[in-house]
Amino acid sequence: MAISGFSLSIAQKMIFNDPLNLWLLASDTTELLGDLRTYKDICIYLHDKFEIIKQTHPLKAYITPKWPSDDEIEQLVEKSSGHFMYASTVIKYIENSHDEPQWHLDNIIKLQMTSCNPYMELDAFISQYPNLFKS
């Protein structure tokens, strides 16, 4: 997986020759893709959680041994944009005992983005399944 981190810098009236303005610019930076270590951690988290699902889900007899594929894990890691919130929400959805986990994962992989922000994949997921998040 080749993902490079980048930052979006926001500054008003930036003056490059003023050290104070350069310091303010550096401190007003939002990391959009996260640290590459985070991607690795999310991958490990997903692998661990999927193993638990395969062992404990009420419909575990219907789960194929090689599920999920490495490609599916990689797609989820990429969709997370380095945010554990996405990975955790997806796992909670897949754990749902009412349907086959494979069906839920397929639905998530097929989701299309609905916005252009760091949480666009999570937004798409929540937009598709709003009833999951009602109290």
pLDDT for the residue 94: 92
- The answer to whether residue 31 scores a pLDDT higher than 60 is no
Asked if residue 11 has pLDDT above 70, the reply is: no
CA distances for 62 relative to 44, 47, 53, 89, angstroms: 24, 18, 12, 23
Pick from 38, 39, 56, 42: nearest CA to 90: 42
Does this model's pTM top 0.85? My answer is no
The pLDDT tens digits for 94-117 are 998 788 999 999 988 988 765 556
- pLDDT digits 0-9 by tens, 34-91: 577 889 999 999 999 999 999 999 999 999 999 999 999 999 998 888 889 889 989 9
Neighbours of 124 (CB within 10 A): 17
Q: Where are the domains of the chain?
A: 1-32, 34-133
